[in-house]
Amino acid sequence: MDDLGVWHRALTPLEAGALFVAGKNNLSFAGRGLSIERTGGSYTLEWDGGQLQESSTLTGTFTDVVGAQSPLVIGGSGDARFYRLR
């Protein structure tokens, strides 16, 4: 075992998926966090360090979100997007 995390709440399916993808790509989640909150028709992403990346598929190629700063508000319509920290 090389990473261990303890949460004080149940993880969302998106959070659990992000942890799985991070592990598959030999990335650590230690010391960094990405939270997503839905407010009306938009989502607010907040993180405490690292480069935000996005992809159109969970297992696809992730690219840097150029100029992204926390908090970042994104619209809730359109194609699915997946986010992670590098």
Q: Would residue 45 count as lying in a domain?
A: yes
HSE of 39 in the Cβ direction (CA atoms, 13 Å)? 9
pTM of the model: 0.59
The number of folded domains in the chain is: 1
pLDDT at 30: 61
Percent with pLDDT over 90 in the chain? 8
Token pair for 32: 């960094």
pLDDT at 27: 72
Phi and psi angles of residue 20, each rounded to the nearest 5 degrees, phi first: -65, -50
**Over the chain, what is the mean pLDDT?**
81
Q: Would residue 38 count as lying in a domain?
A: yes
Q: Would residue 5 count as lying in a domain?
A: no
Q: Would residue 4 count as lying in a domain?
A: no
Q: Would residue 71 count as lying in a domain?
A: yes
The residue segments making up the domain with residue 25 are: 13-85
pLDDT digits (tens, 9 = 90+) for 24-66: 777 766 655 788 888 888 888 888 878 899 998 888 899 999 9
pLDDT at 65: 92
